[in-house]
Structure 1
Amino acid sequence: MKRVLTLIFVFCLLLGLSSSSYAATEIKIGHVLTTDSAWHINLDGFAKEAAEQTEGRVIFKIYPGSQLGNEKDLIEGLMLQTVDGGLIGGGSFQSIDPRFGIEALPYAWKDHEAAYRAMDGEIGNFLLGILESKGIKGISWWENGFRHITNNKRPIMVPKDMEGLKIRVTPDKMRLDTFKALGASPIPINFGELYTALQQGVVDAQENPLGIIYANAFYEVQKYLSLSGHIWGSALLCVNSPAWKRIPDQDKPVVEALAHKWRDRERQQIMDEESDMLVKLKEKGMQANEVDKEAFKAAVQPVWNDYESVFGKDLMDLVRKYGE
């Protein structure tokens, strides 16, 4: 009997050790882009390496293509704790606080590096503090890239060429005001409906980074590509606070380090794609042209003036500091 009891004890002990060894924190990360986008490719690498380096204790499952909802849904889910996490365009967090629109001031950043310094520095830290107070842990600032204009009417070279153009924009007020200042007719349309809207002529134009233009085959329904580079956009890898707390303390620094590592790779891919995608879009038949950026920058200065009261002078001064 003693031998049987001993065997039962040892079996239960081994079972308990086995269970704890295989216990894992599983976190679902959603995003709205395709599986061949820089976002997804690098999220996949991040997730695989996180599983390896934490010996299976932290498992990130990636859900592309709006499987967990659009960006508005993801943010609402983070707040309600029905969504673990996401890689979400920084500007989409304006639904929480309008100051998240600061990165999208038209012609705020002269190049990628200026934007990186801002988001990895004082501006990014300020915005992460806002999210922390709302129950969201921002892990790392990734990138969506510079946006460019495509349309079916004519080449866009100077602001006057924008007059009367029906252009799809994201549904935030500053983006709408920016294109109104340029003389266009901005129309907010859900991204998932954009291809059809362009195909059916509901809108003449749209604006997105080159990688997204190519990945979503907008070249099939758009003729002209104008390299406006009018707005740069970040992307934030984030989770809700309870999901972050579920990650073992020993693994939190590992997750953050890997998020930064794959952020850097994603940023490099975005920059590499800009020249590569331009070639591919031309091969698909798009007519590409440069724009007079100084003329565009001058045309949107009223937007800067109007939004200083929204963002505050201190934050605007930081933009001027990093944007130089």
Structure 2
Amino acid sequence: MLGKRISKYLPAVAAAGLLSTTCLYGLNVQAKTTLKVGHISAVEHPWHQALVGMAEDVKKATNGEIVMQIYPSSQLGGEREMAQGLGLGVLEMGLFGTGALQALDKRMIIEELPYAWPKRENAYRALDGKLGDALAKVLEGHGITTLSWWESGYRHITNSVRPIEKPEDLKGIKLRVPEAEMRIDTFKILGALPTPMAFSEVFTALQQKVVDGQENPLATIYASKFYEVQDNLALTGHIWGSAVLTIATKTWNKLSEANQKIIMDAAEKWKLKEREMIAKSDDEALAKMKEAGIKVTTPDPTPFKEAVQPVWDKYENTFGSDLMGLVRKYSDS
């Protein structure tokens, strides 16, 4: 399925100049190992920029033996489709928000409990520590090896109905959300009308008023130009999300130990750089969107946090006491 998608779209995409330089030179290099890397974000997004940097490091360190071909903007399908392809071994690598991985195991979305992370540093410690190790073991059971935990960032809400100042302002707003059960539950409790939809469809759906709004990190809202078809931005920070860089275990096991170390080292290096890029891009994106005319509100998080407590209660059994205990530990540390 993924192979057919690539064959179908690659000539047109290359002609349009949408593939990264890494991907294009990867097509012309007789590499011993070629790793296709899929993600949903635009080429302007820190995900893509960091992957390009990582690919250059890996190619150089392996003397061209390993070439990473990067496919942004859902060129290889949506996140759920790519995640399934990764588990089946028909896609080599992927960078995902964990919400997409709930199709494999619901425990993967535990980090997205609403208002779990008061500061991004809390989340870093969790995913670089025991919580990340535990979730990596979950993915191992699905044929996926975790390389490192990057960042998607805090999610905020845009819409074209009204400014959001309090939970009640969300009532009746048709809000696009990822195909993630807990996200749907969160916005139902807040009074919105959550509408699951693939990321690749969001801009058109907003433009054509199929949905009233959406929620994403600032870097994504800006890179995807959602602010061009939305009137209001509420800095709710309701969820912090990681981006997990993964490789198919079948592919990983075929690599030499030396090349595995090179890839791991590059993933760690670019994890840190990508996190810095996300934080910096938040400030820059917000300033640019304000200049473009979007109205910005900064709601008090307290009533929102209180309102979504039933979500924590509902998923206590789903995630299990051990994982929930880790989230609470790192959230409070």
Structure 1 residue 304 and structure 2 residue 312: aligned? yes
The answer for the alignment partner of 2:282 in structure 1 is 274
AA in 2 matched with 1:80: L
AA in 2 matched with 1:190: A
The match for 1:58 among 54, 66, 87 is 66
* Kept after mapping to 2: 8 A contact 1:141/1:263: yes
Structure 1 residue 102 and structure 2 residue 104: aligned? no
The answer for the alignment partner of 2:134 in structure 1 is 126
The match for 2:203 among 177, 181, 195 is 195
CA-CA distance at 1:274 after TM superposition: 1.1
Deviations along 1:69-120, one digit per CA (max 9) or x if unpaired, are 1111111111221111111112211111110110110000011111111111
The answer for the alignment partner of 1:13 in structure 2 is none
The answer for the alignment partner of 2:6 in structure 1 is none
CA-CA distance at 1:205 after TM superposition: 1.0
Q: What is the rounded CA distance, in whole Å, between the counterparts of 2:211 and 2:248 in structure 1?
A: 36
AA in 1 matched with 2:195: I
The match for 1:207 among 203, 215, 219 is 215
Q: What is the rounded CA distance, in whole Å, between the counterparts of 2:197 and 2:216 in structure 1?
A: 13
Q: What is the rounded CA distance, in whole Å, between the counterparts of 2:280 and 2:268 in structure 1?
A: 18
The answer for the alignment partner of 1:179 in structure 2 is 187
The answer for the alignment partner of 1:264 in structure 2 is 272
Equivalent position SS for 1:171? coil
Structure 1 residue 85 and structure 2 residue 88: aligned? no
The answer for the alignment partner of 1:241 in structure 2 is 249
CA-CA distance at 1:197 after TM superposition: 1.1
Q: What is the rounded CA distance, in whole Å, between the counterparts of 1:31 and 1:191 in structure 2?
A: 11
* Kept after mapping to 2: 8 A contact 1:58/1:247: no
Equivalent position SS for 1:228? strand
Q: What is the rounded CA distance, in whole Å, between the counterparts of 2:93 and 2:60 in structure 1?
A: 20
Deviations along 1:233-275, one digit per CA (max 9) or x if unpaired, are 1111111112112322112112101101001000000001111
AA in 1 matched with 2:50: N
* Kept after mapping to 2: 8 A contact 1:158/1:296: yes
Structure 1 residue 35 and structure 2 residue 43: aligned? yes
AA in 1 matched with 2:35: I
Greater Rg over alpha carbons, structure: 1
The answer for the alignment partner of 1:250 in structure 2 is 258
AA in 2 matched with 1:185: L
User: Where does structure 1 lack aligned partners over 5 or more consecutive residues?
Assistant: 1-21
* Kept after mapping to 2: 8 A contact 1:51/1:57: yes
Q: What is the rounded CA distance, in whole Å, between the counterparts of 1:319 and 1:37 in structure 2?
A: 28
Equivalent position SS for 2:95? strand
AA in 2 matched with 1:251: N
* Kept after mapping to 2: 8 A contact 1:25/1:246: no
Q: Which moves more between the two structures, 105-114 or 133-142?
A: 133-142
Equivalent position SS for 1:230? strand
Equivalent position SS for 1:93? helix
* Kept after mapping to 2: 8 A contact 1:91/1:234: no
What does residue range 134-153 of structure 1 map to in structure 2 within 5 Å? 134-153=142-161
CA-CA distance at 1:134 after TM superposition: 1.7
* Kept after mapping to 1: 8 A contact 2:58/2:262: yes
Q: Cα 1:44–1:23, aligned 2, differ >3 Å: closer, same or farther?
A: closer
The match for 2:240 among 222, 232, 241 is 232
The answer for the alignment partner of 2:321 in structure 1 is 313
AA in 2 matched with 1:64: P
User: Where does structure 2 lack aligned partners over 5 or more consecutive residues?
Assistant: 1-29
The match for 1:160 among 168, 176, 198 is 168
Q: What is the rounded CA distance, in whole Å, between the counterparts of 2:215 and 2:70 in structure 1?
A: 26
* Kept after mapping to 2: 8 A contact 1:31/1:64: yes
Q: What is the rounded CA distance, in whole Å, between the counterparts of 1:153 and 1:214 in structure 2?
A: 19
TM-score (norm 1): 0.91
Structure 1 residue 285 and structure 2 residue 293: aligned? yes
Q: What is the rounded CA distance, in whole Å, between the counterparts of 2:81 and 2:178 in structure 1?
A: 15
* Kept after mapping to 1: 8 A contact 2:234/2:299: yes
AA in 2 matched with 1:270: I
TM-score (norm 2): 0.89
Equivalent position SS for 2:175? strand
* Kept after mapping to 2: 8 A contact 1:89/1:234: yes
Corresponding pairs, count: 303
CA-CA distance at 1:23 after TM superposition: 5.6
